[in-house]
Structure 1
Amino acid sequence: MDYLKTVVPSQLIAERGSNLVVINPGSANVRIGLAQQDCPISVPHCIARRTSQVPKKNVQDQLLNSQITTVQHMERERAYDIIASLLKIRFLDEEVMNGQYPQKMGRVDALPQQSNSKKDTVIPWTDVFEKGTSSSSVEGSSQRLGESSTQNEDNVDDGPSSTEPKYREYIIGEEALRIPPNEPYCLRRPIRRGHFNISMYYPAQQVIEDMHCIWDWVLTEKLHIPPSERHMYSAVIVVPESFDNREMKEVISVVLRDLHFNTAVVHQEGLAAVFGNGLSTACVVNIGAQVTSVICIEDGVALPTTQIILRYGGEDISRCLLWTQRHHQTWPAIRTDPLTRPIDLLMLNQLRVSHCQIREGEVEAFAVVHSYEHGAPPGFHKTRLTALNVPPMGLFYPMLLVPDVYPPPPRTWFSDNEDMLEETWDFSRRSDMSDGYFSGGGGYFPMWDNYPIFHSKPKKQDCIGLADAITKSILSTGRIDLQRKLFCSMQLIGGVAMTEGLISAVEERVLHAIPSHEAIDTVEVLQSRTNPAFVPWKGGAILGILDYVRDAWIHREDWIRNGVHIPSARKYKDSYFLQAQSMSYINN
C-alpha cells in the first residue's frame, strides 16, 4: 500500500494494465478492452448462425407472446395521460387545437442540416457472404434463396470449386442485427433481461457456446489477442447485479477454461461504477438496454439489502416511442416490428438517442424513418415525430413501457440461485466427483450439476418506477446519516443515463417520493466523469489494477481442477472489501 501512495497513476496503469482484460457483459452489449485503454470495444451481444432449419426461425429467443393484453393497454394509456398532465402536453386522444395547454414547440433535431441525408441515417444490410464473392453472385444467390426456402446446407456450401457464393458460418455484433430476414441465419442473444437467455428453444449449452464465441471473436479480431497468448493475460469480469451465482460460475468457466485466461476475478457493476467515477459512497442507478438496477455502496462495500432489479430499459423506451407515434398517427404506413426484426430496433434506438428528452411542453421533430422490406432497398419516409418527451418518462411510470413482453428465464435452471453478495463460494470438489466433469478444453460437461443445491429466495425484481426504486433502496439502509449522504450521491450510469433532462427529472421525482416523515430535504445526482455507458468497465479496470495481488483472484488450474479455491479459507465476497488506502488513492 505504501507503493500505491507514491506511484504515478500512469506508471501503475502501464505496469499492470497491459496484460489485464476487462469484460463487462450486458443484455444488449458486451464491453471488452485492456485496462490501460481509455474505453472498451462495445459490441452488440448477439450472434447469428447459419441454419438449414425449415421453416426457419429468424430469432432464437424466449419470447412467448408479443401481444399486450387489454388491461396492459388500458394501463399504458392511463400512464400516458398522467405523464401528459405533468409535462403540460395534450392527452393521448386530444387534438392539438383543443389542447388544455398552449403548445411550446421545441425542435430537437440532433443531426446537423448538412449531414441530415439519407446516407447518414440509413442502416445497410449485412453482406452474409465471405469476402471475395462478387456482388452479382450475391444478388443471384439471394434471389434463388427467396425462390426456394427448402435449400439445405449441403446445397448452400458446395466447396471451394463451386460457383455458388459461400455463406459465413456465423456473424457477430451489429452485423448480425442487420442480416436480411430471407437469409439462412438464426439470431441468438445469450443474455436477455439481465439473465442467461435460457428457454426450451435456447438450451443452456448453446447459450454458453454462443457467449464464448462472441467474446473469443472480440478478443481475437478487435483486441488482437489470439488464444495462444491468453495465458499471459488476466481477466476482470464486471457482472450485472441481476446475475445469479450459477450464471457467474458459468461465466468464470468460459473465461478460464474456454478463453484460456491465466487468472480472473469477478466484481459487481455497482461497486465498479463507484470506482469508475472516483467515489467511495453512492447510490448507483444503472439504466441499461433491458434492465435497470439500483444498489447502494458505502465506503467501497456493496450493501446487498439495498439491491433492486427493474426489468425495463432503453429498448423498452424505443418500443414505446414507436407506440406513441402510431397512436398519434405520425408513423408512416410501413411495417416496423422491433421484436422480430432487429434492424427495426436499431433504427428505433437511433431515433430515441437522437430525439428523446425530458422537459415540459410539446417536443416535436422532423426525422427520416426507414422501412426495410424483403428483397428491396431501404425506403425513406420523412415524418414529424411528436410527444418525444413521453417515452423516457416511462422510467418513472413503467406501465407505459409494458416491460413484460420478454418474461424472465425459467427459474428451474437456477437451482443454486444464491445471492452473489450473501453466500460463500468456498466449494471443494466432492470425493465422488470424477475428473471427467472438469474439462480442460472447450467441451461442456455438467460440472455444476454435481454441486450441492442451495435454496434461497430469488432476487427482488420489482415493477415500480425509477424514483420509487431509488427511494426504497436508500431508505432500506436504516441509518439517517447514510441516507442523507446517499440521497446527495446518486450516480446514473448506463446508456440511457445520457438522456437529456433525465438528471433533473430524477432529482425532482426522488425528492417528491421521499415520505414526509423522513428528515431529508436535499437530493443530488452527481455528474459522471466519463461516458456513463462505460463507467462500470472503467471501474473494473481500476479495481483490477489496484487489487492485482489479492487472494480473490482465481487461477485457471485451480478452477478447472477444484472449482473455487480460496486460500486461507477467505470468502470470495471479500473481494468487495478493498482497503481504505486503495480508495484514498482513487480519490486523490
Structure 2
Amino acid sequence: MVGKRSGKALLREEGLERTDNNMDLTTWPLVNMINQKNYYTEYLKRDDQILPLRLLQEERRNRMTAKAKDRDRQLAQANVNEPHQSGADMDMDDDLGMDDAGELLTGQDALGSKVIVIHPGSQNLRIGLASDALPKTVPMVIARKCAMSESEEDGGEPSPKRLKTEDGNEMEPEKMFGEEFSSQYAKMCADLKIHMRSNKRRVLPNSKELIVNYNKRAPPETISEHNDPLRIDWTEIAANPQDAPGYFTGQEALRIPDKSNPRYKLFWPLRCGWYNETDYREKKDLYDDIATIIEEAIKTQLNLRRKREWVQYGCVFIVPDLYERTYVTQTLEMLMRDLGFGKVCFIQESLAATFGAGYTMACVVDVGAQKTSICCVEEGMCIENSRINLKYGGADVTETFMRMMLHDHFPYEDINLKRRYDFLLAEELKTKFCTMNEGDISPQLFDFHLRASGQDTRKYTFKTYDEVLLAPQGYFQPSIFDNSLKLKGRRKLIDRSYDIYEGGPNDPVSSAQSAVISLISPLLPTGGQTNGEATNGQAAPVPAKAPTLLHKTNESDRTPMSAIGTPAPDDDDTPAPIGDPNTTTNVLATSMRDDVLPVISLDTAILTSIAHGARGNEHQTKNFLSSVMVVGGGAQVPGFYSFLEEKLKELRPGYLKDIVIGTPPRELDPQGVIWKGGSVFGKLRGTNDSWIGRMEYDRLGARLLAYKCMWAW
C-alpha cells in the first residue's frame, strides 16, 4: 500500500518547486508612473540651468569681485591723512570693463581698441576698430587666377548689353537697348519738361538735339603717359606666371589690368544683399572668399598682421534688418572658426544707424549699392513688421546713367562696365555729374580722362542735359532699371533655412515686405482681401486704378522681365497699412521670396514701412514721418533729400507739416553712420549682453543666437 505523498514531494517530482533565492530580477530602481493630472518640472525654467545666462551671471559676479578687490586695494594703499573716495563715489565711476582673461581694462583699451567692427556690403566693406573715428572702406571684391577675365566671358558681351542686327552689327544708339527702354526714357524726358515748365523753369525746345549733335562729333584727345600727372599705378604682376599671387583683394584687385598674364577674374561674394551664387560653383569657395576679403582687410587696413592674436579681440558684425538665417549662422561660424575672434556679437543695420546718429526713433532708409532697406526703429528695437528690403541701389543708377548717355551718342561708345577701368570711370562720372536739382538741368559741357593699362590717356568732352537727373530718378520709377539678371542663380548653391521641428522655412518675415510682394504679384492675397484693400476698412496707399505691377517670370530661370510702375496717391490722407497680412499671407510671401524680385518705388516703400510700423497709431505715424533718416552711399546725390521729401508729400498731402527728411547729426558721413553705430554698440560695457564667447559657442553652436540676439531669433 502506497503511502500518502506530501505536496512538497509532488512539486519536486513534477518540477514545479520554486528554486530561486527570493531576489529581485534587476537592481535598477523602479520608477513609478507619473500622475499626469498633477505634475511639475523645473527643467530649463531657471536662468542658472541655461549655459549662456549662467555664464553671463558669472561674468557679472567676477566683474563685481574684481571691482571690490581693486577698491579695497586702493583704500589700503591710500594715506590715512589724505581724503579718499567713498565706496558710493567709486561706484559712480565709469565702468572700465574687463577682458576675456578677467584683467581690468584701462585707458584706450576701455574705449574699443580691442573691438573690430565689420559692415560688409555688396560693393564695399567698411571695417575698423571701435575706437576709430571713421571706418576704412575696402571694395568687397577678390581677384583669383582664371582662364579669362570677366570682360572676356560670354563671348565678350559688354555691360550694359547692346542689341545687334541680324548681320551681327550693333544697332544705332537710339535702338541698342530695345524699344521698351527707349519709350520709357522718352516718357521720362517729356514728364520732366512738363514738371519744369510748371515750376516756371526755362526749357529750351531743342536741348536734346544740341547735346546729341555735339556728342556725335566730339573726337577724343590723346595724351601721352609722361604728360599725364594723374596716371594710375596698376597692380604689378610677376613676370613669371607661376610666381604670381593666387589672389588679390580690395583696391589692388580692381587695378589689375584686364589683359594681365596670368588672367585674373573678379568675384563679388555678395550681390543685392544676397550671397552671389551665380559666379560660384561651390558654396565653400563663396564662404572662403568672404573670409579672405575680411582677413586681408584686417591685416592691411588695421595692421593686425598676426592672426593668432585675434583671439584677444571682439567683433561686432552688422547684419541686414531682413536677413537670412543661413547668412547669420554661417557668418558666426566664419568669425569664430576661420578668423578666430575671442567673442562676437551681431546688430541690425537700422538699429546701428540710430546708434550712430543718436536717434531714439526714426524710419531708417539705407540706400546701398545694390540693396535698399527700410525699417522703423523705436526705443532701441527694430519693428519687425516694418522691415522692407528692395533690390536696387546706386549701382543701378550707374548702369542706367551709362545707358542714357549711350542712347544720346556718348562719345566713348565702347564703354563696358565689365572692364575694371570702365567700371571705375562710370562710378566717377555718376558721382561727379548726377544731380536731382532741377535748377542744374541745362546743356552743360564736361570732360573726363580715360586711363587704361598699356594705352595712352584719352581726354573726352561731352555734353549732358536731363540724363544726370533721370538716372537717379529711377529710385522712384524702377522700371527704368535692368532687373533681368538679379534672380539668376538664386538658390543654386545655398538652400533656405528650415525649422527642424516643423519642417517649414524659418527665415524672418515682415508684413511690410509681404505687402511689397503682393503689390508686385497680384496673385498673392493680402489679409484675405484683394491687393490694395485693407482689412480695417481704410484705403491703402495703392491707386484706385491699379497699375501694371506684375513681374513676368521666365519659366527657365525665374527672371523678371519687366518692372513696375509707381503707384499714384490715393484720396485718403491717412496712411493705412497696405493690407493686414495674416499667417497665410506670410507663408505665401515666404514661398515666393525666391521667385519675386522686390522692386517698387522708394516713396511707396517708405510709406508702406511706416504704415506697418505705426499699426494705425496716428501719433506714431507722425513721429516716423518727421524722422525719416536717409543713409548709405546710394543716396549721396545732390538734391536727393529734397526730391524724396517732395515725393512723400505728393503721396500724403495731409501730412505736409510732418514729413521731414533728416540727415545724420554732427556732420557724419551718411555712408559711415551704420558702422559708427556698430562702434558705439561695441563700446557698451556692462549693458551689452549680446557677446558670444568661444567656450559657449563650442558647446552650443548657433543655438546661442536665440539667447544672444537683440531681436527675436
Return the letter of the residue paired with 1:540.
G
* CA distance in structure 1 between the aligned counterparts of 2:457 and 2:446, rounded to whole angstroms: 15
Q: How far did residue 345 of structure 1 move?
A: 1.8
* CA distance in structure 2 between the aligned counterparts of 1:261 and 1:77, rounded to whole angstroms: 54
- Percent of aligned pairs sharing the same letter: 25
Return the letter of the residue paired with 2:663.
Q
Q: Is the 8 A contact 2:412 2:460 kept in 1?
A: no
- 2:280 is the counterpart of 1:189: no
Return the letter of the residue paired with 1:216.
E
- 2:495 is the counterpart of 1:414: yes
Q: Is the 8 A contact 2:95 2:685 kept in 1?
A: no
* CA distance in structure 2 between the aligned counterparts of 1:195 and 1:333, rounded to whole angstroms: 33
| CA pair 248-119 structure 1, distance change in 2 beyond 3 A | farther
TM alignment of 1:5-404, pairs within 5 A: 7=94, 15-51=110-146, 53=147, 57=150, 67=161, 70-88=179-197, 96-98=204-206, 119=228, 124=232, 126-129=234-237, 156-157=241-242, 166-183=243-260, 184-199=263-278, 201-225=280-304, 226-329=306-409, 331-338=410-417, 340-361=418-439, 362-371=441-450, 375-387=454-466, 388-404=468-484
Deviations 1:381-420 (A, max 9, x none): 1222332222221111112233444336513623216445
Aligned to 1:475: 611
Q: Is the 8 A contact 2:159 2:416 kept in 1?
A: no
Q: How far did residue 502 of structure 1 move?
A: 0.9
Aligned to 1:449: none
* CA distance in structure 2 between the aligned counterparts of 1:520 and 1:32, rounded to whole angstroms: 39
Q: How far did residue 199 of structure 1 move?
A: 2.6
- 2:600 is the counterpart of 1:464: yes
* CA distance in structure 1 between the aligned counterparts of 2:114 and 2:404, rounded to whole angstroms: 48
Return the letter of the residue paired with 2:184.
E
| CA pair 571-119 structure 1, distance change in 2 beyond 3 A | farther
| CA pair 212-304 structure 1, distance change in 2 beyond 3 A | same
Q: Is the 8 A contact 2:375 2:386 kept in 1?
A: yes
Return the letter of the residue paired with 1:381.
Y
Aligned to 2:704: 566
Q: Is the 8 A contact 2:370 2:393 kept in 1?
A: yes
| CA pair 8-550 structure 1, distance change in 2 beyond 3 A | closer
Q: How far did residue 227 of structure 1 move?
A: 0.6
Q: Which has the larger radius of gyration?
A: 2
Q: Mind listing any 5+ residue stretches in structure 1 that lack a counterpart?
A: 90-94, 104-116, 131-140, 142-154, 158-165, 423-453, 578-588
* CA distance in structure 1 between the aligned counterparts of 2:259 and 2:183, rounded to whole angstroms: 36
Q: Is the 8 A contact 1:551 1:566 kept in 2?
A: no
Q: Mind listing any 5+ residue stretches in structure 2 that lack a counterpart?
A: 1-59, 61-87, 97-105, 162-176, 212-225, 498-504, 511-586
* CA distance in structure 1 between the aligned counterparts of 2:128 and 2:91, rounded to whole angstroms: 23
Q: Is the 8 A contact 1:271 1:301 kept in 2?
A: yes
* CA distance in structure 1 between the aligned counterparts of 2:92 and 2:278, rounded to whole angstroms: 50
Q: Is the 8 A contact 1:292 1:309 kept in 2?
A: yes
Deviations 1:290-309 (A, max 9, x none): 11111111111101211111
Q: Is the 8 A contact 1:356 1:499 kept in 2?
A: yes
Q: Is the 8 A contact 1:231 1:261 kept in 2?
A: yes
Q: Is the 8 A contact 1:490 1:526 kept in 2?
A: yes
Q: Is the 8 A contact 1:300 1:576 kept in 2?
A: no
Q: Is the 8 A contact 1:79 1:400 kept in 2?
A: no
* CA distance in structure 1 between the aligned counterparts of 2:463 and 2:230, rounded to whole angstroms: 16
Q: Is the 8 A contact 1:196 1:409 kept in 2?
A: no
Aligned to 1:152: none
Look up the SS of the partner of 1:546 in the other structure.
coil
Q: How far did residue 533 of structure 1 move?
A: 0.3
Deviations 1:216-255 (A, max 9, x none): 0011111012211100000000122353110111111111
Q: Is the 8 A contact 1:58 1:185 kept in 2?
A: no
* CA distance in structure 1 between the aligned counterparts of 2:453 and 2:132, rounded to whole angstroms: 41
| CA pair 354-366 structure 1, distance change in 2 beyond 3 A | same
Q: Greater CA deviation, 174-183 or 80-89?
A: 80-89
* CA distance in structure 1 between the aligned counterparts of 2:265 and 2:194, rounded to whole angstroms: 44
Q: C-alpha root-mean-square deviation of aligned residues, in Å?
A: 3.6
Return the letter of the residue paired with 2:681.
L
Return the letter of the residue paired with 1:526.
G
Q: Is the 8 A contact 2:322 2:389 kept in 1?
A: yes
TM-score, normalised relative to structure 1 = 0.74
Look up the SS of the partner of 2:648 in the other structure.
helix
Q: How far did residue 509 of structure 1 move?
A: 0.6
Q: How far did residue 8 of structure 1 move?
A: 9.8
Q: Which has the higher contact order (CA 8 A, sep 6+)?
A: 1
Aligned residues, how many? 485
Q: Is the 8 A contact 2:158 2:416 kept in 1?
A: no
Look up the SS of the partner of 2:496 in the other structure.
coil
Look up the SS of the partner of 1:551 in the other structure.
coil
Q: How far did residue 78 of structure 1 move?
A: 3.1
* CA distance in structure 2 between the aligned counterparts of 1:321 and 1:201, rounded to whole angstroms: 29
